[in-house]
Structure formats: structure tokens, C-alpha cells
Amino acid sequence: MPFSDPTPTLEMLPGERWRVAAGFNYTLPEAEGNLPAGFVVDVPAGVETDLASIPRILWPLLSPGGDYAPAAIVHDRLYHNHEVRGAPVTRAEADGVLLAGMKELGIGWLTRWTIYSAVRVGAWWAW
């Protein structure tokens, strides 16, 4: 399974933030840009995240802590560091990892493409 823990343990922080309580990792099932299949993204304990960065007005439809949250946490890690294990990661690769992770978690096509498309269009400011 690509996620070492598909339901990571999180601690709630003030301001709609979360901290990963127990580290986990994600192994790419297929190549993504210059990242080869089998590439591992580590998310150590202590990493902070806002889960999926979904505007509050859309929370009734897509909550930040939906079943796609583990993929969003890995995505946040990539956006924060711009690299993994010394290998640079582009924004497009990070977004592709998000899409692949959501697929691995069994997120439906419409939901994962909605989130992926929104990230591609609107998350440039966070990079």
C-alpha cells in the first residue's frame, strides 16, 4: 500500500491547523515528472498542516479533513520543502503526487479532479 498509514494520527492546533502526531510515508506507485515510481515521501511527526486548503465556503461540499487528507498532508509537505531526500520537487510534481495519492486512497474521479484542478489554478501563491 502506498501510504504507510492511510489514517494518520493528528493533533488539533489553534487556527484550523493540525500537527502530525505519528510520522508516515507515501510511496509513489507510478513516476511523476522526474520522481520515479517507488519514490518515498516522508512525513515526520511534528509536521504542521491545514489538511486540504479548501475555502470555508466550500466546506459543506469538500471538508479539509475528508478522506483525501493523507494526500493533502503529503502535498503540504512537498509545498513546504520543495524537495524530498535531497531531490528537488516542482510544483507540478507536487500537485501530481496529490492527484496520485487521492487515487490510491480511493477518492472518486470527480472529487479528485476538482481538488487537483483547484490546486493547479489557485495554489501558485502557496508555492
- In SS3 terms, the chain reads as CCECCCCCCEEEECCCEEEECCCEEEECCCCECCECCCCEEEECCCCEECCCCCCHHHCCCCCCCCCCHHHHHHHHHHHHHCEECCEECCHHHHHHHHHHHHHHCCCCHHHHHHHHHHHHHHHHHHC
Which structural domain, as residue segments, surrounds residue 29? Answer: 10-126
Give the model's pLDDT for residue 84: 84
| Predicted pLDDT of residue 2 | 93
pLDDT at 126: 64
Q: Is the pLDDT of residue 53 over 70?
A: yes
Whether 1 is covered by a domain: the verdict is no
Residue 32 lies in a domain: yes
Can you tell me the mean pLDDT for 27-36? Answer: 91
Residue 72 has pLDDT above 90, yes or no: yes
Please state the rounded mean pLDDT for residues 32-60: 88
**Is residue 5 in a domain?**
no
- Give percent of the chain above pLDDT 90: 61
* 3 in any annotated domain: no
* Structural domain includes residue 40: yes
